[in-house]
Amino acid sequence: MKETGSDEGYLEWLDRGLSKVPKTESRERLNIPSVECVVEKNKTIVQNLNQIADLLNRDVKHLLKYMTLRLAAPYSEIGEGRYVFKGRILPKQLDTVIADYIKAYVECPVCKRPDTKLSREKRGIVQLVCLSCGAVSPVKSL
């Protein structure tokens, strides 16, 4: 198919327009590592929670608060990004809690993508704002 002058002009305008669109990092597949933990007597030491929170683009304190409520186990920080939960918690349980956190506070309920952020409205309502589709959904505050 032969291009005419108007087709070339259109393609030129299209290329110029596309070059001005900001590149966004697509995280369609969210690869979260398994929780690295050590169980000692009646406590569980989690070692990579900061890394997981960074991958989720969330504050580690928010993730810890959710985990504390779900596991009914208080935590304390022992430095170097390591946290101790009281009680024997299996790694599989920790992975399940983090998967539930992702579903509730990271994944967009409309398009199912993880490109979201949490924002707080004036009235104290926490909202999940999707950077991919633009949806705004209320979430439970912790």
Q: Tell me, which fold does domain 32-106 have in CATH?
A: Alpha-Beta Plaits (3.30.70)
Summarize pLDDT for 7-41 with one digit per residue, the tens.
788 888 888 887 777 665 554 567 888 888 888 88
Sheet holding 126-130, edge to edge: 116-120, 126-130, 136-138
Q: What is the pLDDT of residue 122?
A: 66
Q: Between 29 and 81, name the one with better pLDDT.
A: 81
**Domain segments of the chain as ranges:** 32-106, 111-142
Instruction: State both tokens at 83.
Output: 């946290």
CB 40 within 8 A of CB 88: no
CB 102 within 8 A of CB 124: no
Q: pLDDT band for 100, please (50, 70, 90 cuts).
A: very high
